């Protein structure tokens, strides 16, 4: 089974702190994704990566950056955390480097981040 793990389930940070969220997948997937999940808004894509050192902005990249130095690891960085970044953050991965009709995404358990 594919496993996607995230470094923390719960995280509390202060406004202005630099925050790192880590995600690791163990199935050699090319694509990795970061979403945030907010009530009533569903999942919104922050960034994704289709290869090592490659990244593309999603729908809401402002205030975030990402890093993918190794294929299995995709990090989300909040350069200066703000209270409106309090949310659930979900990481996902999928197998193929280019889109396939049934390209399933596998999700991690999520990190609930609170910024005070």
Partner 1 sequence: GDSVTQMEGPVTLSEEAFLTINCTYTATGYPSLFWYVQYPGEGLQLLLKATKADDKGSNKGFEATYRKETTSFHLEKGSVQVSDSAVYFCALLVKGAQKLVFGQGTRLTINP
Asked if 16 and 63 count as a contact pair (C-beta separation under 8 A), the reply is: no
What whole-number distance in Å separates Cα of residue 110 and Cα of residue 5? 8
Asked if 18 and 80 count as a contact pair (C-beta separation under 8 A), the reply is: yes
- Least Å distance, CB 83 to partner 1, is 22
Q: Could you give the dihedral angle defined by the CA atoms of residues 93, 111, 75 and 32, in that order, rounded to the nearest 10 degrees?
A: 10
Which residue of 7, 58, 73, 77 would you call a contact of partner 1, by CB under 8 A?
Answer: 58
Taking the least distance from each CB to partner 1, the nearer of 77 and 107 is 107
10 binds partner 1 (CB under 8 A): no
The position carrying tokens 């609170």 is 114
The position carrying tokens 């996607």 is 4
Taking the least distance from each CB to partner 1, the nearer of 14 and 44 is 44
3-state SS, residue 69: strand
Taking the least distance from each CB to partner 1, the nearer of 78 and 89 is 89
101 binds partner 1 (CB under 8 A): yes
Which residue of 53, 69, 84, 99 would you call a contact of partner 1, by CB under 8 A?
Answer: 99
42 binds partner 1 (CB under 8 A): yes
Residues that bind partner 1 (CB under 8 A): 4, 31, 33, 40-45, 48, 50, 56, 58, 90, 92, 98-99, 101-110
């Amino acid at each position: 089974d594919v496993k996607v793990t995230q470094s923390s389930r719960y995280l509390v940070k202060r406004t202005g702190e630099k925050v790192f969220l880590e995600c690791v997948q163990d199935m050699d997937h090319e694509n990795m994704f970061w979403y945030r999940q907010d009530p009533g808004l569903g999942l919104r894509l922050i960034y994704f990566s289709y290869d090592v050192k490659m990244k593309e902005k999603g729908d809401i990249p402002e205030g975030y950056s990402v890093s993918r130095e190794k294929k299995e690891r995709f990090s989300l960085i909040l350069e200066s955390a703000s209270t409106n970044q309090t949310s659930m953050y979900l990481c996902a991965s999928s197998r193929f480097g280019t889109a396939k009709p049934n390209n399933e995404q596998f999700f991690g358990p999520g990190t609930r981040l609170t910024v005070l």
